[in-house]
Amino acid sequence: MESYIHRQINNLLLKATDPVFISDERIDGDSLGASLALADYMASHGKIVPVYVASPIPEQYQRLPRIHQCTTDLQLFDNPEIDLVVVFDCSDDQFVAQLMDRIPGDPVVINIDHHATNNRYGHVNQVVVDAPATAAVVHRFFEENQIIPSKDAATCLLTGLCFDTTAFSNAATDERALMVASELLLSGARVQDVIHAMFHNRSISALRVWGLALERIEESEKKDMISTYLTRADIEENQVTDDEIDGLSNFLNLVTDVDTLRVFRETADGHVKVSMRSLTQDVSQMAKEQGGGGHKRAAGYVISDARLVCNQKGCWGVEEANKTV
């Protein structure tokens, strides 16, 4: 079935006259890498496809091929001629539905993902939950359709694969991930561009904020879990962006000896974002219960209208409406 769907997707892509790509609302290396790799493929057929992103592209990804095709302009969806929408690495059907509501027509929706919490909202769904990254799903698309990815497409896919496996160091790393990486290198993926996107993106100020999070780590022996916290004041006083803070959860997951961890971070719009990582637990289900989603070993959710507080004993918690978590 997976092979058939990949061929079906290729037929739909080649027949489309006004396609639009959508990257996940939360921009990262996998959602961008997967969408830009297919944008490169479409360009080889003379079709320059716009890639919608919900926010400006972080500096670390500015060197990715085809990045100039990304746009935050919602007027893109006002075009009644749109006949195909392809969504990448996004399990949030509500985010997609809001964008689809703007389109006057009724285009076919292709949903390409690997999140366990994806509810198959597309007309065509290629959701491969055991894939190490959505980039690996797109790589399989190239394979099944006997397409050799260009050096640019290979670079985009390797960026996505490295992002979701934390450079082949987390639980998503499996034989398939390493095989795909090898094939992408043979296709000419530019390793230095991938390294830049993955690692050369932390300012001294961002590292200071990470240091605050390390100081606040609290351990729960009963649950074999640690938690830490970052406030808006931490972020704003050090003049760093939320993009620079991303990666903290993966770093802690790599260097700590506990099974599960949580990073609580206040957002600019008055909520608290919770990122979870685990070696053995299915944190995607925990996140789904709280209205979030993600992978089995890496997931997250948002606590609305909440803030972080520290009590007199120095213990941190979440103050939400009339209760404290």
Higher pLDDT, 220 or 112: 112
State the average pLDDT over residues 73-78: 97
List, for residues 274-320, the tens digit of each pLDDT value. Answer: 999 998 889 988 898 998 888 888 889 999 999 999 888 788 989 88
What's residue 39's pLDDT?
Answer: 98
State the average pLDDT over residues 238-245: 84
List, for residues 45-56, the tens digit of each pLDDT value. Answer: 999 999 999 999
Neighbours of 260 (CB within 10 A): 21
* Mean of all residue pLDDT scores within the chain: 92
State the average pLDDT over residues 30-53: 98
The two counts, helices (H) then strands (E), for the chain are: 12, 15
Higher pLDDT, 200 or 322: 200
In the predicted structure, residue 172 carries a pLDDT above the cut 60: yes
DSSP 58: P
User: What is the spatial distance between Cα 4 and Cα 318, in angstroms, rounded to a whole number?
Assistant: 47
Neighbours of 175 (CB within 10 A): 8
Enter the CATH code of domain 2-198.
3.90.1640.10
Structure confidence at residue 324 as a pLDDT band (50, 70, 90) = low
Statement: the pTM of the whole predicted model exceeds 0.85 = no
What's residue 243's pLDDT?
Answer: 76
In percent, the amount of the chain with pLDDT more than 70 equals: 98
Structure confidence at residue 113 as a pLDDT band (50, 70, 90) = very high
Same fold for the domain at 2-198 and the one at 204-324?
A: no
In the predicted structure, residue 322 carries a pLDDT above the cut 80: no
User: What is the spatial distance between Cα 212 and Cα 215, in angstroms, rounded to a whole number?
Assistant: 5
- What single string gives the DSSP state of each residue in 133-183? -HHHHHHHHHHHTT----HHHHHHHHHHHHHHTTTTTSTT--HHHHHHHHH
The full set of domain ranges for the chain reads 2-198, 204-324
What's residue 314's pLDDT?
Answer: 81
Give the burial string for 82-94 (b: 16+ CB within 10 Å, else e).
bbbbbbbbbbbbe
Question: What ranges in 44-111 are assigned the alpha helix state H?
Answer: 93-100
What's residue 9's pLDDT?
Answer: 98
Contacts of 92 (CB under 8 A, 6+ apart): 24, 25, 293
Name the most confidently modeled range: 13-27, 168-182, 228-242, 269-283: 13-27
In the predicted structure, residue 223 carries a pLDDT above the cut 80: no
Structure confidence at residue 202 as a pLDDT band (50, 70, 90) = confident
State the average pLDDT over residues 251-279: 91
Looking only at the bridges linking them, the beta strands covering 19-23 and 84-88 are parallel
Question: What ranges in the chain are assigned the alpha helix state H?
Answer: 2-15, 29-43, 93-100, 134-144, 151-164, 175-186, 191-198, 204-215, 232-237, 242-245, 248-255, 283-289
What's residue 325's pLDDT?
Answer: 54
First to last CA, the chain: 44
Q: Which CATH class is domain 204-324?
A: alpha beta
